[in-house]
């Protein structure tokens, strides 16, 4: 997985840990475990959609939040963290 995508997922995990008031390591560990178990097509889906979000953030100066993510991808991300 590309470094920029791993970094963004890591930052999201940290944000979730702050919001949910849980240890960031636990959230990150859970996310890594679930990412490692993804089927190949789901891993590709994750990488492609994260790349789109990062592109919007860097090139178009958009924030990465739930307003810039499709409901399907948002649900997918939530399932990685919870």
Domain boundaries, the chain: 3-81
Question: What is the Cα–Cα distance from 13 to 31, expressed in whole angstroms?
Answer: 8
Q: What is the pTM of this model?
A: 0.77
Q: What is the pLDDT of residues 5-22, one digit of tens each?
A: 888 888 888 888 888 899
Residue 79: enclosing H or E segment and its boundaries?
A: helix 71-81
Question: What is the Cα–Cα distance from 56 to 38, expressed in whole angstroms?
Answer: 25
Cα 16 from chain centroid (whole Å): 10
Q: What is the pLDDT of residues 38-75, one digit of tens each?
A: 999 999 999 999 888 888 877 777 666 667 678 888 88
Question: What is the Cα–Cα distance from 24 to 42, expressed in whole angstroms?
Answer: 24
């Amino acid at each position: 997985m590309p470094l920029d995508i791993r970094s963004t997922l890591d930052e999201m995990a940290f944000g979730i840990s702050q919001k949910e008031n849980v240890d960031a390591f636990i959230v990150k560990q859970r996310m890594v475990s679930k990412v490692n178990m993804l089927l190949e097509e789901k891993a590709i889906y994750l990488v492609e959609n994260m790349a789109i979000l990062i592109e919007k953030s860097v090139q178009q100066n958009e924030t990465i939040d739930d307003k810039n993510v499709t409901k399907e991808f948002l649900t997918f991300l939530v399932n990685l963290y919870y």
